[in-house]
């Protein structure tokens, strides 16, 4: 166990150094932050308060977060394959799960920093530009609150981490950088857009009235994220249960995508010769 811990620490440090030295990630972060600030400033939510800003940001972030996850993670494993480093790691008997965990955690730190940084900047913008009533911290439902915006930040990071797991899986499957990019983009689009499309095609009055709709929505990452925001942020402030999703099932859905993707990545990497 101590050997695995040492290997994990060494690989994580290597991964973080790679992230810091890659200027493209800085450009991605700056672009994301500028776009988030622009959405808040031009959407009117910044002047109205935290919750209007959440509503303004929700749909764009459903698309932006997977895109940033792709940018951060699509080369995470395949770059080592192309440089021959996977073969070197195999000679040191590094377990597949240690390698995947270190890769994922390193990229997750980078992704979380990007998302949190952009949304914190947006929150500061709201605090200084919104009407005086927005500065009141909610102690009951019906009052706009920066605490609820903080919850939105946490949910957004969770959504990003789930998407990153899927991207890392694509990088494990790929044999080249181009293939990794295609697999990551295609997989995310299929899961996000395709999942929503299947749900729309399956709509019926009887199905919508049944409890199974909550489970179906939770199986699609962006729908699960959307449902969590509606139920635990927007719904809390309005004091009315939106009935859009079950928060527990949505949380389990995102966790399932994360754990399932990383488990499959470990299994595939362990089966093939490094």
Query: Does the pLDDT value for residue 128 go beyond 50?
Result: yes
Name the residue with tokens 């270190």. 102
In the chain, domain spans:
2-271
Q: Looking at residue 140, what is its pLDDT?
A: 42
Residue 1 pLDDT more than 70? no
pLDDT of residue 10: 93
- Percentage of residues of the chain with pLDDT beyond 70: 79
Taking residues 68-97, report their average pLDDT.
88
What phi and psi values does residue 220 have, to the nearest 5 degrees?
-105, 120
DSSP string across 135-180: GSPPSSTTS--HHHHHHHHHHHHHHHHHHHHHHHHHHHH-SSHHHH
- Provide mean pLDDT across the span 11-38: 95
* 18 has a pLDDT exceeding 90: yes
How would residue 17 be classed by pLDDT, with cut points 50, 70 and 90? very high
134-149 mean pLDDT: 62
Q: What is the predicted pLDDT for the residue at 243? A: 59
User: What predicted TM-score, i.e. pTM, was given to this entire model?
Assistant: 0.87
């Amino acid at each position: 166990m101590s050997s695995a811990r040492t290997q994990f620490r060494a690989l994580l440090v290597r991964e973080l150094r790679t992230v810091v030295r890659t200027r493209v990630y800085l450009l991605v972060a700056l672009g994301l932050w500028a776009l988030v600030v622009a959405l808040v400033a031009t959407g009117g939510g910044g002047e109205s308060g935290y919750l209007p800003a959440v509503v303004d940001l929700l749909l764009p972030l459903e698309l932006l977060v997977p895109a940033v996850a792709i940018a951060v993670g699509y080369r995470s494993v395949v770059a080592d394959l192309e440089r021959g480093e996977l073969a070197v790691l195999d000679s040191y008997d590094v377990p597949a799960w240690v390698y995947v965990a270190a890769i994922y955690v390193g990229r997750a730190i980078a992704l979380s920093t990007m998302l949190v940084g952009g949304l914190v900047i947006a929150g500061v913008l709201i605090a200084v530009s919104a009407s005086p009533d927005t500065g009141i911290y909610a102690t009951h439902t019906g009052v706009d609150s920066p605490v609820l915006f903080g919850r939105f930040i946490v949910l957004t990071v969770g959504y990003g981490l789930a998407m990153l797991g899927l991207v890392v899986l694509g990088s494990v499957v790929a044999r080249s950088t181009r293939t990794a990019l295609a697999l990551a983009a295609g997989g995310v689009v299929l899961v996000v857009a395709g999942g929503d499309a299947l749900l729309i095609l399956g709509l019926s009055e009887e199905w919508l009235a049944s409890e199974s709709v909550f489970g179906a929505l939770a199986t699609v990452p962006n729908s699960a994220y959307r449902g969590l925001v509606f139920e635990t942020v927007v719904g809390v402030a309005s004091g009315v249960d939106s009935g859009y999703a079950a928060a527990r099932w949505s949380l389990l859905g995102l966790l399932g995508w994360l754990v399932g993707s990383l488990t499959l990545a470990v299994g595939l990497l362990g089966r093939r010769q490094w």
